[in-house]
Amino acid sequence: MKRILAAASVVLLLACAAFLQSRHDDQAAYFKPRQVMVNLPKATVLKVASLGFHDTVAELLFLWSIQFYSTTYYSNRWDNIVPVFDTIISLSPDNPDFYQTGSVIMAREAGKIREAIELLERGADHFQNDYIYDFWAGYFAATMLKDFALAAHYQERAAKRPNALPGVMNLYAHYVYEQDDLDKAWELFSELKRTSPHDSIRRSAEMHLYDIQYERDRKVFTEIIERFRQLRGRLPKNFDELINNRLLSAPPVDYKGAVYQYNSETGQLLPNQKSGWKKYS
């Protein structure tokens, strides 16, 4: 009987404890948005305080930062991300994870794109034989800032690094094309098609060359259409009308030698294939 009463007492106490804990949790709002203060000593101070183990201190700070920046209820957690990673890298500049992971957190999570690119620039300056830092800087510039001139700048630098993959030059040429520098893009892709040993890169170059020629031909054709409109007060029905009016010597052909399509309702020259890289106006 005593054992039964003792067991019942334990169960009752546990139930009371669970009830009180539940009440407390409801009122505590553990995951309510809140602000937090981050105050790290300077790297020079930490180097002295670490007694020579500054790489270890940097690793510990890095692990802490991963946990801290994934705590979503810290509403101001991005305020000090730049000085935090500056401290980590100043303590241990030879760890590539600090630059790469830090830049991804800054760009993708914090929305600090330019700060992420600056961090990658530091990595590129420190690891001068590695293309990956310029590559990611160019990727962020293109995809997040839509700054294709800046993206081309970084991809060109990346392509010149000793360990750069062959596709980096192809990406550089593409960003030149995205800037509408058709002459330079034509030159780069022609060289890639001629010299690259990789089928995928040569195919990409050929697709770009097709689009570049179409853009050039479209601009010339638009001027011809406007001259016909001024002469006849309407759009031509087909290429033959342009030839008969001595505005064309022959139907225009694309990069592969096939005759372009023509929309007589809009007066537009249409390609026989599209890459989807650009939307033509």
Which CATH architecture does the domain made up of 33-164 adopt? Answer: Alpha Horseshoe (1.25)
CA–CA distance, 58 with 264 (Å, rounded to integer): 67
Can you tell me the mean pLDDT for 92-97?
95
Distance of alpha carbon 131 from the chain centroid: 15
Q: What is the pLDDT of residue 226?
A: 96
269, β-bridge pairs: 262
CA distance 189 to 174: 8
Give the pLDDT mean for 242-265: 96
Q: What is the mean pLDDT of the chain?
A: 88
Distance CA 148, CA 91 (A): 34
Predicted confidence at residue 197, as pLDDT, reads: 94
**Whether the predicted pLDDT of 8 surpasses 70:** no
Residues contacting residue 206 through CB under 8 Å, at least 6 positions apart = 189, 193, 255
Is the pLDDT at 229 greater than 50? The verdict is yes
Give CA torsion, residues 123, 128, 132, 138, to 10 deg: 80
pLDDT digits (tens, 9 = 90+) for 192-219: 999 999 999 999 999 999 999 999 999 9
Quote the tokens at residue 91. 């303590």
Helices (H), 144-198: 148-159, 167-178, 182-195
Bridge partner residues of 262 (DSSP): 269
Quote the CA–CA distance of 62 and 222 in Å, as a whole number: 58
Structure tokens at 82: 């730049």
**Can you tell me the distance from the alpha carbon of 4 to that of 22, in angstroms, rounded to the nearest whole number?**
27
Which residues, in sequence order, are bridge partners of residue 268? 263
pLDDT single digits (tens) 126-183: 999 999 999 999 999 999 999 999 999 999 999 999 999 999 999 999 999 999 999 9
Greater confidence, 260 or 72? Answer: 260
Token pair, residue 244, equals: 């008969």
- Of 54-63, 181-190, 244-253, the range with the lowest mean pLDDT is 54-63
* Alpha-carbon 200 to chain mean position: 21
- Contact indicator for 88, 61 with CB cutoff of 8 Å: yes
Q: Report whether pLDDT(274) > 90.
A: no
Comparing 49-58, 77-86, 179-188, which segment has the lowest mean pLDDT? Answer: 49-58
At residue 281, the pLDDT reads: 45
pLDDT of residue 33: 72
- The whole-angstrom separation of Cα 87 and Cα 37 is 16
Domains of the chain, residue spans: 33-164, 166-281
Distances (CA, A) of 133 to 91, 125, 158: 20, 9, 8
Q: What is the pLDDT of residues 14-42, one digit of tens each?
A: 556 665 555 644 555 555 676 777 777 78
pLDDT for position 68:
87
Indicate the burial class of 251 (C-beta count within 10 angstroms; 0-12, 13-18, 19 or more): middle
